[in-house]
Amino acid sequence: MRVLVTGAAGHIGRHVTADLLAAGHELVLTDLLPVDEPDALRVHIGDLRDPALVREAVAGTEAVVHLGAVPHPNVPDASELFAHNCLTAHRVFEEAGRAGVRRVVAASSMAAVGLAWSPVPVSPEYVPLDERHPGLVRDPYGLSKQVLEDVARTAHRRYGLDALCLRLPFTGSGERLAGFLAACAADPAVQRHDLWGWLHTLDAAAVVRLALERDWRGCHVVNVSAADTTSTVPSADLMARHHPGVPLHRDVPGHGALFDTAACTALLGFVPRRTWRTGADAGGSTHHPSHPAARRA
């Protein structure tokens, strides 16, 4: 199919672009930064807040993958970040709906729950954390992702398009992932608000492709994560040490993920393929020699 990918120059966007092209899809790409992809049908460089740019980019496409956003709250103007992410999300969904696009897949974030990026210590009400967990947001980035999910629901009601918001944790590969693992090895407490969640970027690209290709209808928000944590400490011990008293709604054996991804598996048939613990995957080695598990691999 012909797909518009926003944020195509970003870390996830580059992998999504490569994966979709390899699967035979025709791509239109947008980003604020230059995009070097000779196999794209069209490339539009500019700001997604510009309605003319979005309208031109979405023209003739059958689906949209919306990845373009400010990816964290560490900016001088929190209100500007919030306004940017909310306006671009609305612009993309609105123009997609007006153009008759039938499906939009958008990158939400686990930050929409309000743990990641919280400026104060906070714990979940329970784990594994599912999509029904109450919101705890205190930061502008997480708030903008909550709005993104509401924008998706609104576009679904207004235009009848199918919408899927993927709540992603930290996503990385190579040195980016190695640095994240090394930080957790040095002090697991630094990732307590992330619930030690992660996803390999190649798995992120795979779930986006499944979201485009699988037969589903409606508007959905689903958690996506690797099957394990970033830590060598068992998950139950991590919770007891860093989130004492938080109930486990079901057993989490070994280093199992503390996010419930059953909804994603049921909707898309997605099962993450990669774990850093093996030291190798289809995308090459992602373990890091400074991490204890990597030394054992």
Instruction: Measure the CA–CA gap between 64 and 85, rounded to whole angstroms.
Output: 16
Percent of the chain with pLDDT over 70: 94
Dump pLDDT digits (tens) for 70-129: 999 999 999 999 999 999 999 999 999 999 999 999 999 999 999 999 999 999 999 999
240, exposed or middle or buried, with CB in 10 Å at 0-12, 13-18, 19+? middle
pLDDT number for residue 283? 32
pLDDT of 281 > 70? The answer is: no
Secondary structure E strands in 90-168: 103-109, 162-168
How do the domains of the chain map onto residue ranges? 2-296
SS3 at position 137: coil
Q: State the chain's mean pLDDT as an integer.
A: 93
pLDDT number for residue 134? 97
**Tokens standing for 103?**
């499906």
Dump pLDDT digits (tens) for 286-297: 333 334 333 222
pLDDT number for residue 259? 98
| Three-point CA angle 57, 60, 64, nearest 5° | 60
Instruction: Give the CA-trace dihedral at 163, 138, 12, 24, to 10 degrees.
Output: 0
DSSP 237-267: HHHHHHSTTPPBSS---TTB-SB--HHHHHH
Q: Give residue 263's Cα distance to chain centre.
A: 15
pTM exceeds 0.85, yes or no: yes
Dump pLDDT digits (tens) for 177-194: 999 999 999 999 999 999
Secondary structure E strands in 206-245: 219-223
- State which H helix or E strand residue 81 sits in: helix 78-99
pLDDT number for residue 33? 95
pLDDT number for residue 183? 98
pLDDT number for residue 280? 36
pLDDT number for residue 47? 97
pLDDT number for residue 284? 35
What is the architecture, at CATH level 2, of domain 2-296?
3-Layer(aba) Sandwich (3.40)
Instruction: Give the CA-trace dihedral at 243, 249, 250, 252, to 10 degrees.
Output: -20
- State which H helix or E strand residue 261 sits in: none
pLDDT of 137 > 50? The answer is: yes
**Averaged pLDDT for residues 206-212:** 98
Instruction: Measure the CA–CA gap between 202 and 131, rounded to whole angstroms.
Output: 23
pLDDT band at residue 31 using 50, 70 and 90 as cut-offs: very high
Instruction: Measure the CA–CA gap between 247 and 236, rounded to whole angstroms.
Output: 10
